[in-house]
């Protein structure tokens, strides 16, 4: 056996559950010790969960985090695991009372070193400069008399700082604690970055990431180790608990690969990101069941399939709410879907409620159409209130972009599992989910006719989404350029898009900012999700 065996504990912590996180950490320390590890490393801010936002500023929370570190150190010593070196992320505080995003190193029943994150990310979804002070000093610890350097997440994404300070320190290993949220395609970026940093410090790099959902973020895990030459020598699967165990070679000795997790397609990763985001939002909120409207269309079908994978079909209530405009296939497809996923299927006709409204109030065309969506929203919230379940909103990113939903109608809900998937991705992931079922000899969850049918809100006779919007294939391309790549009107025209289409889409997007702000949270799966990644004023006269 090597003189330096490292374990990386990929775990799913819960923000604010300091006692639960402490118990989980101790459990994995015992497992790592039983596997002969000399060092076990945990993700960023393990004791507190991540990201903790302004909880970082609360003195009571800071004290609780410090208490957790002492509890863990004492418990390890009491259980005879004191010789195991434990590296974990926590909330630290400077002498002047400023919070730090901190790594602590425990050995022999006490804290033997502390490292404060140097580079605080302050872009996209991150606001760390608002809540943390930046660390200034590099940290090298010495398990098995070997120099092991520490870094925290963003530290390896920026040049200079910690990594620069660690090159030339003759490290045997660089350990990086991470809270790196999922984005399509980010896995490759992380590995390439880690490989570059490993070559810079001339030592293998062990990258341990958390997994699990936290509000609108999903962490995918996918922890790994690269050799000093930048080759992946061990890796963990995504969206699950995992422990990587690896024997760190002596300087100059070739690295031996350990277990390498099979690679997953982008569709597969994104689908499980949505499942994880929903499951953890519901479970970490202390709930277990959800309700949603089943229209027979593709959006509600995909959300229902995700919900069934997240919580079990028996914990999904699917309600068909036909109106005078609902086609027979919308009800057949809704029922078919519910049976396929084992959902609790219900039918609630909406016309008596809509007509009661219409008798009391005269409403214009769109207002009258929207009553249908709002009555459906009230029914779902009625079930949510009386049965203690969360309502799911089924809107996709294309609809959110152009405001194609009824506020307080189909936009109601606790969580919106596909709000970061444009319509094109909705079809792709639906096809992927069915193909995944076929590959396992299981029933395809989504009826083929829901995938094939033309999208319609069915709020008036023969309504089609294409009456109000460009075809989704075109709409999604314009949105990708305008929203994801922040291109202006001129750049869009230079790409060859029709001026009338560009002007219409840009106006719809700009006008819908207020509606997006009122939309429920949902998992970020792309590089730029609506919400914290794209912060625009609601009241604005800026026109492209």
Ligand X SMILES: Nc1ncnc2c1ncn2[C@@H]1O[C@H](COP(=O)(O)OP(=O)(O)OP(=O)(O)O)[C@@H](O)[C@H]1O
Ligand Y SMILES: NC(=O)CC[C@H](N)C(=O)O
Q: Which of 320, 398, 434, 477 binds ligand X (CB under 6 A)?
A: 320
Given 29, 139, 153, 274, which residue is catalytic?
A: 153
101 a known binding residue?
Answer: no
Among 294, 291, 290, residue whose Cα is nearest residue 302? 294
CB of 283 to ligand Y, least distance (A): 23
CB atoms inside a 10 Å sphere around CB 431: 15
102 binds ligand Y, rule: CB under 6 A: no
Half-sphere exposure of 419 toward its Cβ, with a 13 Å CA cutoff? 31
10 binds ligand Y, rule: CB under 6 A: no
294 a known binding residue?
Answer: yes
Residues with Cβ within 8 Å of residue 59, at least 6 apart in sequence: 97
Among 181, 396, 414, residue whose Cα is nearest residue 286? 414
Residue nearest to ligand X (CB): 297
Q: Which of 15, 139, 153, 278 binds ligand Y (CB under 6 A)?
A: 153
Task: Give the Cα separation of 106 and 306 in Å (integer).
Answer: 40
Query: If phi over 0 gives left and psi between -120 and 50 gives alpha, with beta otherwise, what is residue 326?
Result: beta
Cα three-residue angle 366-529-505, rounded to 5 degrees: 40
Is the dihedral angle over the CA atoms 447, 451, 452, 458 positive or is it negative?
positive
**Partner from ligand Y, ligand X, ligand DND, none contacting 321, C-beta within 5 to 8 A by type:** ligand X
186 a known binding residue?
Answer: yes
How far from 71 is each of 74, 110, 113, 285, CA to CA, in Å? Answer: 5, 10, 16, 26
215 binds ligand Y, rule: CB under 6 A: no
116 binds ligand Y, rule: CB under 6 A: no
Q: Which of 26, 57, 157, 534 binds ligand Y (CB under 6 A)?
A: 157
Q: Which of 406, 434, 477, 526 binds ligand DND (CB under 6 A)?
A: 406
Is 153 annotated as catalytic? yes
Task: Give the Cα separation of 72 and 46 in Å (integer).
Answer: 12
410 binds ligand DND, rule: CB under 6 A: yes
Among 479, 516, 521, residue whose Cα is nearest residue 497? 479
Question: Would you list the DSSP string of 478-508?
Answer: HHIIIIIS---HHHHHHTT--HHHHHHHHHH
64 binds ligand X, rule: CB under 6 A: no
520 binds ligand X, rule: CB under 6 A: no
Bridge pairing between strands 242-247 and 232-235: unpaired
Q: Which of 42, 211, 219, 404 binds ligand DND (CB under 6 A)?
A: 404
Residue with tokens 């209530």: 317
Q: Which of 468, 471, 488, 507 binds ligand DND (CB under 6 A)?
A: 468
CB of 299 to ligand X, least distance (A): 3
297 binds ligand X, rule: CB under 6 A: yes
302 binds ligand DND, rule: CB under 6 A: no
Residue with tokens 């309504």: 463
Of residues 328 through 387, those in contact with ligand DND by CB under 6 A are: 366, 369-370, 373
Task: Give the Cα separation of 420 and 400 in Å (integer).
Answer: 9
244 a known binding residue?
Answer: no
CB of 364 to ligand DND, least distance (A): 10
Q: Which CB sits closer to ligand Y, 127 or 544?
A: 127
**Partner from ligand X, ligand DND, ligand Y, none contacting 341, C-beta within 5 to 8 A by type:** none
Build a one-symbol-per-residue string for 416-455: x at contacts with ligand DND by CB under 6 A, - elsewhere.
----------------------------------------
Q: Which of 25, 421, 459, 525 binds ligand DND (CB under 6 A)?
A: 459
Structure tokens at 347: 């039918």
The three state secondary structure string of 325-356 is CCCHHHHHHHHHHHHHHCCEEEECCCHHHHHH
Given 29, 44, 200, 284, which residue is catalytic?
A: 44
370 a known binding residue?
Answer: yes
Is 44 annotated as catalytic? yes
**Residues classed as catalytic:** 44, 117, 153
Q: Which residues bind ligand X (CB under 6 A)?
A: 292-295, 297-300, 319-322, 326, 330, 376, 394, 399, 410, 455, 457-458
Q: Which residues bind ligand Y (CB under 6 A)?
A: 44, 121, 153-154, 157, 179-181
């Amino acid at each position: 056996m090597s003189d330096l065996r490292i374990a990386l504990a990929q775990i799913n912590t819960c923000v604010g559950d300091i006692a639960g996180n402490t118990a989980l950490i101790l459990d994995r320390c015992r497992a790592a010790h039983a596997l002969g590890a000399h060092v076990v490393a945990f993700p960023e801010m393990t004791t507190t969960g991540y990201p903790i936002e302004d909880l970082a500023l609360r003195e009571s929370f800071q004290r609780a985090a410090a208490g957790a570190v002492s509890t863990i150190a004492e418990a390890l010593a009491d259980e005879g695991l004191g010789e195991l070196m434990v590296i974990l992320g926590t909330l630290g505080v400077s002498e002047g009372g400023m919070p730090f995003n901190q790594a602590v190193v425990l050995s022999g029943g006490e804290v033997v070193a502390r490292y404060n994150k140097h580079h605080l990310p302050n872009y996209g979804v991150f606001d760390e400069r608002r809540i943390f002070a930046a660390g200034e000093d590099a940290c090298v610890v010495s398990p098995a008399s070997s120099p092991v350097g520490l870094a925290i997440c963003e530290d390896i994404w920026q040049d200079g700082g910690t990594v620069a300070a660690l090159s030339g320190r003759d490290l045997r290993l660089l350990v990086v604690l991470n809270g790196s949220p999922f984005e399509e395609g980010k896995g490759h970026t992380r590995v390439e970055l880690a490989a570059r940093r490993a070559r810079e410090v001339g030592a293998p790099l062990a990258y341990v990431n958390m997994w699990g959902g936290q509000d609108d973020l999903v962490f995918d895990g996918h922890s790994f180790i690269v050799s000093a030459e930048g080759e992946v020598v061990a890796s963990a699967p995504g969206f699950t608990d995992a422990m990587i165990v690896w024997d760190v070679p002596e300087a100059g000795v070739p690295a031996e690969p350990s277990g390498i997790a099979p690679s997953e397609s982008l569709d597969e990763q994104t689908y499980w990101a949505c499942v994880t985001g929903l499951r953890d939002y519901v479970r970490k909120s202390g709930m277990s069941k959800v309700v949603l409207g089943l229209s027979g269309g593709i959006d509600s079908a995909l959300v229902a399939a995700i919900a069934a994978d997240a919580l079990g079909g028996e914990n999904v209530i699917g309600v068909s709410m036909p109106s005078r405009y609902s086609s027979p296939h919308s009800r057949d497809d809704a029922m078919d879907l519910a049976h396929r996923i084992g959902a609790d299927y219900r039918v609630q006709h909406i016309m008596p409620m809509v007509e009661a409204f219409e008798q009391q109030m005269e409403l214009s065309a769109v207002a009258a159409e929207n009553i249908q969506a709002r009555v459906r929203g009230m029914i779902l919230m009625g079930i949510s209130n009386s049965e203690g379940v969360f309502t799911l909103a089924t809107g996709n990113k294309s609809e959110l972009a152009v405001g194609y939903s009824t506020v307080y109608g189909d936009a109601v809900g606790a969580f919106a599992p596909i709000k970061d998937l444009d319509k094109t991705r909705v079809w792709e992931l639906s096809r992927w989910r069915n193909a995944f079922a076929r590959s396992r000899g299981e029933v395809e969850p989504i009826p083929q006719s829901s995938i094939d049918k033309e999208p319609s809100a069915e709020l008036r006779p023969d309504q089609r989404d294409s009456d109000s919007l460009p075809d989704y294939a075109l709409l999604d391309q314009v949105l990708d350029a305008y929203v994801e790549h922040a291109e202006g009107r001129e750049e869009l025209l230079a790409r060859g898009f029709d001026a009338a289409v560009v002007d219409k889409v840009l106006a719809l997007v700009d006008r819908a900012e207020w509606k997006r702000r009122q939309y429920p949270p949902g998992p970020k799966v792309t590089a730029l999700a609506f919400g914290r990644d794209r912060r625009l004023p609601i009241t604005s006269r800026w026109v492209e």
